[in-house]
Amino acid sequence: MEHNTVKPYKSAGSKKNQVEEMFDNIAPKYDLLNHVLSMKIDVSWRKKLVHWLKMDHPKRVLDVATGTGDLALAINKGTHAQVVGYDLAQQMLNVGIEKIKKAGLEDQIQMMKGDAEKMPFKDNEFDAITAAFGVRNFENLQQGLAEMKRVVKHQGNVFILEFSKVEGWMSPLYMFYFKQILPVIGKIISKDNCAYTYLPDSVNAFPYGEKMKNILLELGFSKVEYRKLSLGIATLYKATK
């Protein structure tokens, strides 16, 4: 199954519209669920992305699929860069805007609603681009990645943190948790019947590792590196324009 055919809801309508609806639905409980379901390991994954990004000394960063702004906040804290957080779902952005206000960082982090596959930014506008757990939700993966390449500066880097698949002896245990337990907890807390069934289905259908590296190279990135995190639960990619 192609990743772009996996949709949150079984109804008609584009993946893009369904993803926006799903994240608007679960926005109030999203952060709680993230930390509960990942046992807060997602915090350390973001730190690893920021550590890698820091080496570039970026002044202006675009965080695509920013959601509730956790990565945008971590980037600003770790690099002191100006950050634009960009997302399709207004309710997720609203949660992020409150966090940014609470931290007193309104002059450092700007939140914008929009489509990652058609961004309103100029070519070569940002020193670096980041995306954590967002590219899997693109309706057209190549189009979204091409847009990220377009708006990053020449020789700038795009950092993508995304779920992948655990391999080896841990795989059956992890898949049992991911497919049987996680959707039940997600449904109880979020009150959305489909959001956390969509998560394992979308991860299962998504290219990772060498496949993802090859997609990025085919789009014209000059160099792609990646690191598996937590036995392959997630993978961190760095694609150089």
> Which residues are annotated binding-site positions for S-adenosyl-L-methionine?
68, 87, 115-116
Return the amino acid letter for 26.
I
Binding residues: 68, 87, 115-116
The CA-based dihedral angle spanning residues 51, 216, 31, 2, taken in that order and rounded to the nearest 10 degrees? -160
Please identify which residue in the block is written with the tokens 């670096």.
128
DSSP state of 53: H
Return the closest-CA partner of residue 210 out of 231, 197, 228: 228
Residue 237 class from Cβ within 10 Å (0-12 exposed, 13-18 middle, 19+ buried)? buried
Please identify which residue in the block is written with the tokens 């899997």.
136
Radius of gyration, alpha carbons of the chain: 17
Residue 104 class from Cβ within 10 Å (0-12 exposed, 13-18 middle, 19+ buried)? exposed
Identify whether the C-beta of residue 110 lies closer than 8 Å to the C-beta of residue 93: no
Identify whether the C-beta of residue 241 lies closer than 8 Å to the C-beta of residue 157: yes
SS3 state at 68: coil
